Chains A and B, each alone.
Chain A
Amino acid sequence: MNGSVLIEPPVPCTDPWPRLWPFLPERVACLLKGWPRSLLGAVEEIRLRAGRPLTLTVGGQAVPAGPGGPAGDPAAVLQLDGSDLQACVELISGSSLYALEEELKRGFLTLPGGHRVGLTGQAVLNDGRVRSLKHLAGLNIRVAREARGAARPVVPHLYDREADRIRHTILVSPPGGGKTTVLRDLVRLISSGVPSLHLAGRAVGLADERSEVAGCYRGQPRLDVGPNTDVLDNCPKAEGLMMLLRSMGPRVLATDEIGQGSDVDALLEAQNAGVSLLATAHAGSVGELFRRPGLQRLLAAGAVERVVVLGRSPTPGTLVEVRGGWHLEPLEVKSRGQTPGGVGPGSG
């Protein structure tokens, strides 16, 4: 977050740590550098809270961090204090917290590399609405991982070769199920094309409200979302989808975590404009999905042709089930139970 604008190509490697070390306070970085690589590879979140122990989320479990690995003995856990938090905030803000007004209002920011940092502290109110945060006391760094090929088993179910179009699709999983990771790879594959499926690359518009899919830093995607993808970063989904539709002429529109009524309106509008839709939604199962009011409307309007259910086991992003047809009944999934492309943990 230094002054200069970093222009680098997206990094294809899946090891997120080299990009993370510069943003961690010294004590935390030193401790974690002593962890075995295999364990670091499974870390999904790093949680820093002032006055409390350093906690990592590994495989969905909260793990107190000690030297060399998870600490069994409470005395071995690294206790963080206010100065650690202060140092981390300085590092992630590039010593310019004042420049992150919008980010503080939303409660999160995105690091170069696509890692999202959630922030808590004391809210500063203005007319009853949150204007900013002060006294930051809790940070949650979500480790973003790229998993190239993660969406490869999904693509054949979505591509209608006869009509040469992508079917309107919702990716569904519980939190941490790999929705965002799979969506990112799906966007990349559709954008660049899959020759073996005779799927030609096409323009994709991505409304990335929380900067998690493309990991944009200063408007430029830092994760690989394909050569033919236009990203509207940081923009409210409903507005972003309409802007992309009007201005960029996409054949596919993608967005993350839909649910609100306004998102659904925008999706329905886009569907009527002849654009294919890709979206993700939090839901433990298809039954839960059907119970969410906003999504009910989308389903009732016939705007969903495929529902792809992803699961956490054995690894996040595992294809569990594909549903389609008039009543969204389960379709046969050949690759059932396989790990598509070896999705790493994290990026739910």
Chain B
Amino acid sequence: MVKLLGASVLVLGSGLAGVSVGGNYTRRPRELKSLQTALKLLATEISYALSPLPEAMANVAARSPAEAASLFRVAGAELAANTGGGAAQAWQKATARFGLNTSLTGNDLALVNQLGQALGISDRDDQMSHLELVLHQIDLQIDEAQAAAAKNARLWNYLGFLGGLALALILY
């Protein structure tokens, strides 16, 4: 009886671990798409509304999908607090905090982070070209993430349960 209980805990545990890893793969394209939408909103704020950056960030946070909103909310608050580091530092802090709670990879985050070096320090056309470059790179990341999700999400879901089952059988 105890053995059976132990085996089912093992199967359930490793199954859930597999689902969690697989979930990361399916969440990443979704988060990248949200980020892309939010950055497009930022581009609109900059090119058409010409809103100052703190205001632009707050507006984007209010209108963008939930997954990306926190990044812009934090960046906007940092900028409004004007701690002296400028847009680059505010953006870096915001991406660091955003990265703690996301399925994005280090590469994705580095892409977002690098945008901070250019934010707010040049004219509209230059800002647009930087944003367009990042949006294009995110496009590529989305393709890659979708391929990885198709390949790995189901694999990890099965692998978790089957691996747990195999281990349980060996130990039984």
Contacts and interface: CB of A to CB of B under 8 A. Distances in A.
Most buried by B among A4, A90, A99, A101: A99
Interface residues of A, number: 23
A274 B119 CA distance: 51
A134 interface: yes
B127 interface: yes
Q: Is the interface of A mostly helix, strand, loop or mixed?
A: helix
Given A26-B84, A99-B50, A3 B76 contact: yes
Contact of A97 (B56, B80, B121): B121
A2 B79 contact: yes
Nearest to A131: B123
A258 interface: no
B51 interface: yes
Q: Is the interface of B mostly helix, strand, loop or mixed?
A: helix
Contact of B120 (A2, A4, A93, A132): A93
Given A2-B52, A3-B54, A87-B86, A97 B120 contact: yes
Contact of A2 (B54, B84, B122): B54
B124 A2 contact: no
Interface residues of B, number: 25
B119 to A, nearest CB: 7
A86 B82 CA distance: 15
Contacts of A104: 123
A3 B52 contact: yes
Given A3-B80, A87-B86, A94-B54, 6 more contacts: A3-B51, A90-B87, A95-B54, A96-B56, A98-B50, A101-B123
Interface of B: 46, 50-56, 58, 76, 79-80, 82, 84, 86-87, 90, 119-124, 126-127
Contacts of B52: 1-3, 94-96, 99
Interface centre among A3, A90, A98 (most CB of B within 10 A): A98
Contacts of B51: 3, 96, 99
A2 B50 CA distance: 13
A4 B56 CA distance: 11
